[in-house]
């Protein structure tokens, strides 16, 4: 309800892979970059979120989270600090992944770019060509410099529901 159109927030992404990493590049058009939150609260500022279903074949029609569904947040960092990554789900392995996920960040007037190298081990995945995964890449936005809040989110899955992996998209790893 806070989204005022593409001048407020829009994003695109590209992903490639090898047998060790998922490489994710996200270009975000944002009228104001605001990130004061850290760790598990990073979504309350400008940040990227990756939802990944690591076992799509075995739970394709399951509309609730299972232990093979992952939610990873990536932030360029708060107030000029280092980039960080935080895993929310599965909750039994939740916590910082900043030491594992390598992230670069660049800004231009009205946009920012985040590029991350994410080890497949973060998602418990041994990738192979032809593998099908569930995926949604989303961007959170906060334009309020005095409060940590998620005002808006846009996603590659237009009907994205965090708790329902059937609302995410499907990707296929190809050579």
**Mean pLDDT by 10-residue block, N- to C-terminus, for the chain (175 residues)?**
73 96 95 87 93 89 90 86 93 95 88 94 96 95 87 87 91 93
Residue located via tokens 């946009």: 111
Residue located via tokens 């029609």: 61
**What does the DSSP assignment read for 11-30?**
EEEEEEE-SSEEEEEEEEEE
What pTM was estimated for this model as a whole? 0.92
What pLDDT is attached to residue 39? 92
> Rounded CA gap, 151 and 1, in Å?
8
Residue located via tokens 């309350």: 44
Closest residue by Cα to residue 89 from 28, 173, 141, 164: 164
CA 120 to chain CA centroid, Å, is 14
> Rounded CA gap, 127 and 121, in Å?
10
């Amino acid at each position: 309800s806070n989204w005022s159109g593409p001048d407020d927030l829009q994003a695109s992404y590209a992903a490639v892979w090898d047998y060790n990493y998922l490489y994710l590049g996200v270009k975000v058009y944002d009228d104001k970059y605001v990130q004061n939150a850290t760790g598990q609260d990073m979504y309350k500022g400008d940040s990227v979120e990756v939802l990944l279903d690591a076992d799509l074949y075995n739970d394709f029609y399951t509309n609730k989270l299972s232990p093979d569904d992952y939610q990873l947040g990536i932030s360029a960092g708060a107030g000029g600090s280092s980039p960080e990554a935080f895993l929310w789900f599965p909750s039994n392995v939740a916590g910082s992944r900043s030491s594992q996920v390598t992230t670069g960040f660049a800004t231009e007037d009205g946009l920012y770019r985040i590029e991350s190298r994410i080890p497949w081990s973060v998602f418990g995945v041994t990738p192979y060509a032809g593998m099908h995964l569930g995926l949604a890449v989303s961007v959170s936005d906060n334009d309020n410099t005095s409060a940590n809040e998620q005002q808006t989110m846009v996603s590659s899955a237009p009907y994205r529901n965090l708790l329902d992996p059937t609302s995410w998209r499907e990707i296929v790893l190809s050579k």
